[in-house]
Amino acid sequence: MLTINDLIQNEDTRRKYHDIKNMVGSSGMRSSIYDVNNICNLRCKGCFYFSSDQHKLDDQKDLDELAAFIGREKARGVNYAILIGGEPSLTLDRLDVWYANIKCSSATNGIKKIERDRYPDMRVGISLWGDEEDEIRLRGKNTFLISRQNYRNDPNVYYLYTVTAQTIGQMETVTKKIEEAGLRVHYQLFSNDQGEEGMDWTEDLYKEVRDNMDAMLEKYPQVVISSKYYHQVLTTQTMLGRRFGWMECPSVSDAVDDRDPRPKRLYGFNSYGSDYTTVHRCCTSVTRDCATCHDGAATMSWIMVNKREHMTDPVDFANWVDVTHMFARLYEYIPW
């Protein structure tokens, strides 16, 4: 195996590697995902949260019990909580408990503002499905306009923009609107869990969206938090000749991971339902087909946990560094 010095062959990789080396050191980031509640003020087309009945769990409303659960998670080694749905902004009393007890970031659909004064340094990721007309069509409201107004110029907010097969052409318009609002964006691809007509990816569409993501990253480097290697893996679902899927996925919950052999995976990662007893299969839902999964976080984690496999060639290693650096920026381990 080559040494780090052999592998680093340009200043950009050296700088990024220096940035991330503390994060990937002895303890690193040990995250898990938690549903904060089981309600939402939207019903988006194709939402796996509702279609897989995750909302039917009896959510934990007792704040003392919640604090005790967080304590147990920390004792298990978790040092970063990724808070997701239903919709975290609808139960701020619970968000308060999370924020007071562990480093965390929260997802939101952006309709109800999570006040910055209440959570001064919490990263907020706004889910976005397209430009304003698409948000109305797919989510029933112009959530993009509302969320831009709510979070304008907030330095700790980004859009998690799920690009669909039908919305590739709007990526630049959307990215420009995000730039104008003083915010940032990270892309992932839609997974057609419910077989919506016209929403499947084809080889031509993969190429088109990849070219577009690359172009956006080049044109708006201060706005787009991404990496060309991430785009490549996301749109080919392959990495170093291996195919993404169930037997490779790093984001299967530890508590239910019965794969044999177990692949490299996120250490101690679990995805909890809002009762904090139920553990979901993975970071998405049991109803999703791994063969067509395009989850962005699982994809970037897949690259990250396979560091060693990227250490035989300087180009591969630079790619690994690039994705890990992107991940660290998204999850606030290093500044944007």
Cα separations (Å) of 146 from 135, 136, 149, 287? 11, 11, 5, 30
Residue choice 127, 150, 162, 270 for contact with ligand SF4 (CB under 6 A): 127
Q: Which of the stretches 3-11, 85-93, 206-214, 234-242 binds ligand SF4 when contact is defined by CB under 6 A? A: 85-93
Q: Is 256 in the site for ligand SF4 (CB under 6 A)?
A: no
Asked whether position 273 contacts ligand SF4 by CB under 6 A, the answer is: no
Region of 60-68, 153-161, 169-177, 292-300 interacting with ligand SF4 (CB under 6 A): 292-300
Q: Provide the minimum distance between the beta carbon of 76 and ligand SF4 in the complex, in angstroms, as a whole number.
A: 21
Nearer to ligand SF4, 190 or 331 (CB): 190
CA angle 140, 141, 143 (to 5 degrees): 130
Which residue, 86 or 216, is less far from ligand SF4 as judged by CB?
86
Stretch that binds ligand SF4, among 75-83, 84-92, 117-125, 195-203 (CB under 6 A): 84-92
Q: Which amino acid is at 159?
A: Y
String of b and e for 77-90 (b: at least 16 CB within 10 Å)? Answer: ebebbbbbbbbbbb
Report the C-alpha gap between 156 and 184 in whole angstroms. Answer: 9
* Residue 95 buriedness (CB in 10 A; 0-12 / 13-18 / 19+): buried
| Alpha-carbon gap, residue 168 to 300, rounded angstroms | 21
- Please calculate the CA angle 256-307-82 and round it to the nearest 5 degrees: 45
For residue 37 the two structure tokens come to: 């509640």
- Contact range with ligand SF4 by CB under 6 A, out of 47-55, 92-100, 149-157, 206-214: 47-55
Tell whether residue 32 is a contact of ligand SF4 (CB under 6 A): no
When binding is defined by CB under 6 A, the residue of 293, 304, 318, 326 that contacts ligand SF4 is 293
Closest CA to 290 of 228, 243, 235, 256: 243
- Contact flag: residue 33 with ligand SF4 (CB under 6 A): no
Residue 298 as a binder of ligand SF4 (CB under 6 A): the answer is yes
Binding of residue 319 to ligand SF4 (CB under 6 A): no
User: Of the candidates 17, 34, 49, 269, which one interacts with ligand SF4 according to CB under 6 A?
Assistant: 49
Strands (E), 209-335: 238-239, 242-243, 271-272, 279-280
Residue 43, interface with ligand SF4 (CB under 6 A)?
yes
> Which amino acid, 237?
Q
Point out which residues bind ligand SF4 (CB under 6 A). Answer: 40, 42-44, 47, 49-50, 85-87, 109, 127, 245-246, 249, 251-252, 282-284, 288, 290, 293, 295, 298
